[in-house]
Amino acid sequence: DDAATRAVLSGMEETVGELMTPVTATLPANNTVAEALTFMVKSADVSEISYIFVTESDRLVGVVGMRDLILAKPSDALSSIMVLEPFAFQEDTPVKEAVSEVLYRHYRMYPVVDEQRHVMGEVRGWKLYERIASELSAQAGSQYGVAKEEQINTPVLSAFRMRHPWLQVNLITAFAAAFVVGMFESTIAQIVALAAFLPVLAGQSGNTGCQALAITLRGITLGQINDYPIRRLLRKEILLGALNGAAVGVIAGIAMFAYAQSIDSANPAMLGLVIFIAMVGACMGSGIFGVAVPLMLKRFGADPATASSIFLTTFTDIIGMGLMLFLATSLVL
């Protein structure tokens, strides 16, 4: 548990070397197909062989598939039927990088080589697919500080140890939001209706921000973000925030107007307008932070999903509730 937590916190990544197994079949390039067949017949783990890795001076120069062997003449040299300069991983290739190659290449087995292309071992395609699945299934939970290792049958105390630290982080960030609300206590004391709209502002900006977060995380995981201009992504989310905030803000504003009027609160129209403006502003800000939080976590070397929702909702809480209370103080009081 501790090692995994440290790995996540420090952004350390498993490497291909750690998933590697000893190579099952390497043969020199001047061997013939007949010699390769003899090698296979004698091989103890023939059932594990998917490709023969072909070497020259011990360096990987080609790969021969089972189909190639079948279609060749027994006297053919492996060098004459092999696929040249085969794709290979290095031992220190991070699994995350390897994974995007696998999503594109779909091989059954990948050779692992050192700097001089000596064959160090092999890694099965499905092991890397399994890692993709495990990374992706971890993402939904790690936003809230749920560790990759936790399963439904993890004992309570282990689950507590893994989850609790993030709840303490969440508490500290929640205090920041509480501090902002506390600053406007006299405003709330004068217009108590605002208290009822605190969860509405927080809820909307939180969900809008988490939508932007989800799309940004997806882009990072699928490797799309590398060649995509961040500025364009930010512009899109700000615009979306404005559209979503306006469409939701109109309804929330009308609700505030109706509510304020029903309880004979001062200036119901202005209160409705405050809710509308706060909603638009909060949703635009949420879009910015939804993009920024995972990118910042990545920049700091952490997994971009780690506790991202915890950090994000702090910002969206502060923007949403803070903006509403600030506007009410400025425009209504």
Scan residues 223-282 and list those touching its own copies (CB under 8 A): 224-225, 228, 233, 236, 239-240, 243-244, 247-248, 251-252, 255, 259
Q: In terms of C-beta density within 10 A (0-12 exposed, 13-18 middle, 19 or more buried), how is residue 324 classed?
A: buried
Q: Which of 135, 128, 136, 68 is CA-nearest to residue 104?
A: 128
Q: In terms of C-beta density within 10 A (0-12 exposed, 13-18 middle, 19 or more buried), how is residue 40 classed?
A: middle
Question: Shortest distance, CB of residue 10 to its own copies, whole angstroms?
Answer: 22
Q: Is 46 in the site for its own copies (CB under 8 A)?
A: yes
CA 24 – CA 51 distance, rounded (Å): 9
Residue 114 vs 215, nearer CB to its own copies: 215
Question: Shortest distance, CB of residue 113 to its own copies, whole angstroms?
Answer: 23
Q: Which residues contact 83 (CB under 8 A, 6 or more apart)?
A: 62, 63, 64, 65, 68
Question: Shortest distance, CB of residue 45 to its own copies, whole angstroms?
Answer: 11
Q: Which of 31, 93, 204, 306 binds its own copies (CB under 8 A)?
A: 204
Question: Shortest distance, CB of residue 60 to its own copies, whole angstroms?
Answer: 21
Question: Shortest distance, CB of residue 22 to its own copies, whole angstroms?
Answer: 18
Q: Is 207 in the site for its own copies (CB under 8 A)?
A: yes
CA dist list (Å): 146 to 93, 159, 164: 26, 9, 9
Per-residue contact string for residues 130-159; x = within reach of its own copies by CB under 8 A: x-xx--xx-xxx-xxxx---xxxxx-x--x
